[in-house]
Amino acid sequence: MCGIVGAIAQRNIVKILIEGLRRLEYRGYDSSGLAVINDKKNLIRFREIGQVHILAKEVEKHNIVSNVGIAHTRWATHGKPSKKNAHPHISEYIAVVHNGIIENYQELREQLKKQQYIFNSETDTEVIAHLIHSEFKEGYTLIEVVKLIIPKLKGAYGIVIMDRRTPDLLVAVRYGSPLIIGLGIGENFLASDQLALLHVTHHFIYLNEGDIAEITCKKVNIVDKQGINVERKPIKVDIQYNFDNKGIYNHYMQKEIHEQPLAIKNTLHGRFDQNNNVIFTELDKKAQNILSKVEHIQIIACGTSYNAGMVARYWFESLAIISCDVEIASEYRYRKPIRRKNSLLLTICQSGETADTLAALRLSKNLNYLASLAICNVLGSSLIRESDFSLMTKAGIEISVASTKAFTTQLTVLLLLVAYLIRLQNKNILFERNIVKALYNLPFHIENIFLQEKNIKSLAKDFSSINNVLFIGRGDQFPIAVEGALKLKEISYIHAEAYPAGELKHGPLALVDTNMPVIIIAPNNKLLEKLKSNIEEIHTRGGLIYIFTDKNAGFINSKNMKIIVLPNIEEFTAPIFYIVPLQLLSYYIALIKGTNIDQPRNLAKSVTVE
Ligand code: G6P
């Protein structure tokens, strides 16, 4: 959500900023902008609505040479997407880029207006620029002024500040929104995400909550929340990613759907010992000891990660016999949750930076959980650093805003964890053996789904002028129906709702007529007969039925019914398997509708504000 890049160097940094923004664009793409101090010590700013390439084109025309600058790609919170609301915001010699929300901005705005400050935007960010400007007195340094204004800002934010009068310096503050420093030789960088800087460095310092950093070409000084000078250890990150390479695919989402067999293989790699028992090298003796005592698991997550948690609840309870609750982080954090006895807090988060999930984790620290365990895709992220233990998904970088391979690798880690807990707690070892076997086979089964891609593509045509779709499933396929509906909403803008099939009679059946497509996930499992009765109820009311099933389920084609027969799959891994055809269907429907598949309107990849 919003992307920040900053650079200070002895070379021209304009292209570095633009490339950084391009790499962050998936996090926010309403508008973008940059401000630099040029060789004549002028503060120059460019801002454009829309994607980064529009800004890049404009900047290129001016042949700017600069050694210091800040840049931003925006996901609008306060103030609509427009040129005047795009960052950086300026107050005479001060320029600011900001990620997050200043909650008391109205109050500050009124105070600053009384001091004759004129506001040119509707944003909360502009108050930061004016506030800094207003606090400057003879002899004050930028860092001194920044320290003065921090207590006045309420909310969550990551900010980078530049002062035209001191072009050898950038100041950054992390309060609730991620910020990292990229270290170079004779040059340093800042960003809200390490991906933005991989073209210039692989060495990073992750700022902690409340840190203020002063960055020059040669030095990085950090003071913590208490105002004490601190050394934060740099970390070398070995990620390689070619941002220009979608390979044979037209969209990142399409590529990432197809990467799933490999991503799952990578996630499984190194997680079995010679006896095929699940091992997690990340979990030390202390963690194992805690996990052996766990009697309840509280899962917290948002979006697609929440849907992974919903599947896991079925698994934890039916296979590992451990009770489990799943809750959306933004709800959990604002109620008064009661922790159950011997309970583990399990967070699931692709980015490791989702504001609500992080807030829920922080809240849980006062609730005496046995421990907090994070399942996450980004090493070094805030979630990993603040959790007691973590398990990595090895999905690789996920660029498409609609999550695909992160979801299936989260489910893979969750199922591994189920098997691990079964063994650790001496539960049903037969389940554990069968889970391991099913996980081994899973990448191969998913490969086989792609053999049906043409059929799914042609099915998508049926949905080109449809406005509503129902998804139904039962048991651990119900959350897959929810995730299928989410994919369709996100990228095709078709209204889609998911229901447990048994709930149809309690409302949604009223929506079913000859214009209502109903997508049904119906593998041959113990709930199939029940599901078949629900399908009959839809059929008799003329609903347009699409059944994703397998050979053994025994569906026979009839009027208004299309049956997509997929390969047979082991029951344990069936939820991971069945989301893939639904991802493909959503992708091809969106393709027909001509939406922006990788960057759907109004959404962002990583939601770092509440
Ligand atoms: C955003 C993304 C979703 C993602 C959700 C949670 O809404 O668009 O794809 O599932 O955030 O993200 P997280 O990083 O916490 O998994």
Q: Which residues contact 208 (CB under 8 A, 6 or more apart)?
A: 174, 224, 225, 232
Name the packing angle between helices 285-293 and 405-424 (round to 10°): 80
Q: For residue range 79-115, what is the model confidence (pLDDT) as tens digits? A: 787 889 999 999 999 999 999 889 999 999 999 999 9
Can you tell me the mean pLDDT for 524-528? Answer: 92
Can you tell me the mean pLDDT for 412-423? Answer: 98
Helix (H, G, I), strand (E, B) or coil at 602: coil
pLDDT over 90 at 136, yes or no = yes
| Beta bridge pairs of residue 495 | 468
What pLDDT is stored for residue 489 in this prediction? 97
Helix (H, G, I), strand (E, B) or coil at 76: coil
What pLDDT is stored for residue 75 in this prediction? 80
Write down the mean pLDDT value for the chain: 93
Which atom of ligand 1 is the closest one to the Cα of 357? Answer: 15
391 contacts 412 by C-beta, under 8 angstroms? no
Q: For residue range 38-68, what is the model confidence (pLDDT) as tens digits? A: 988 999 999 999 889 999 999 999 999 999 9
Q: pLDDT-derived band of residue 514, with 50, 70 and 90 as boundaries?
A: confident
| CA dist., res. 403 & res. 453, Å (int) | 19
400 contacts 243 by C-beta, under 8 angstroms? no
Contact 404 CB / ligand 1 (< 6 Å) = no
Q: Which amino acid is residue 404, in one-letter code?
A: T
Top pLDDT among 301 and 379 is at 301
What pLDDT is stored for residue 176 in this prediction? 84
What pLDDT is stored for residue 138 in this prediction? 85
Contact 174 CB / ligand 1 (< 6 Å) = no
Catalytic-labelled residue, pool 405, 487, 489, 605: 605
What pLDDT is stored for residue 486 in this prediction? 98
Catalytic-labelled residue, pool 2, 324, 349, 376: 2
33: left (phi over 0), alpha (psi -120 to 50) or beta: beta
| CA dist., res. 444 & res. 438, Å (int) | 10
Q: pLDDT-derived band of residue 166, with 50, 70 and 90 as boundaries?
A: very high
| CA dist., res. 342 & res. 291, Å (int) | 10
The DSSP secondary-structure symbol of 207 reads P
Q: Which of 192, 256, 302, 326 to mutate to test the pocket of ligand 1 (most atoms within 8 A of CB)?
A: 302
Can you tell me the mean pLDDT for 420-431? Answer: 95
The rounded percent of the chain whose pLDDT value lies above 70 is: 99
Report the b/e string of 258-289 with b at 16+ CB within 10 A.
Answer: bbbbbbbbbbbeebbeeeeebebeebeeebee
Tokens of 107: 């109050």
What pLDDT is stored for residue 244 in this prediction? 67
Tokens of 581: 């055809």
Q: Is 2 a catalytic residue?
A: yes
pLDDT over 90 at 408, yes or no = yes
pLDDT over 80 at 28, yes or no = no
pTM confidence score: 0.84
d(CA 300, ligand 1 centre) in Å: 13
Q: Helix H segments across 61-104?
A: none
pLDDT over 90 at 1, yes or no = no
Name the packing angle between helices 125-135 and 105-114 (round to 10°): 40
Element (H, E) at 364: helix 355-364
What pLDDT is stored for residue 79 in this prediction? 75
d(CA 407, ligand 1 centre) in Å: 10
Query: Which residue, among 375, 367, 421, 377, has the nearest Cα to 398 in the 3D structure?
Result: 377
What pLDDT is stored for residue 51 in this prediction? 85
Helix (H, G, I), strand (E, B) or coil at 121: coil
What pLDDT is stored for residue 607 in this prediction? 79
Query: Which residue, among 445, 437, 395, 396, has the nearest Cα to 416 in the 3D structure?
Result: 437
495 contacts 468 by C-beta, under 8 angstroms? yes
Q: For residue range 177-227, what is the model confidence (pLDDT) as tens digits? A: 889 999 999 999 999 988 899 999 999 999 999 999 999 999 999 999 999
What pLDDT is stored for residue 24 in this prediction? 86
Number of H helices, E strands in the chain: 18, 25
Cα 368 to the chain's mean position, in Å?
A: 27
Q: Is 217 a catalytic residue?
A: no
Query: Which residue, among 483, 52, 53, has the nearest Cα to 302 in the 3D structure?
Result: 483
Q: Which of 607, 608, 609, 610 to mutate to test the pocket of ligand 1 (most atoms within 8 A of CB)?
A: 607
**C-alpha torsion 172→178→182→187, nearest 10:** -20
d(CA 303, ligand 1 centre) in Å: 5
pLDDT over 70 at 280, yes or no = yes
Contact 390 CB / ligand 1 (< 6 Å) = no
pLDDT over 90 at 245, yes or no = no
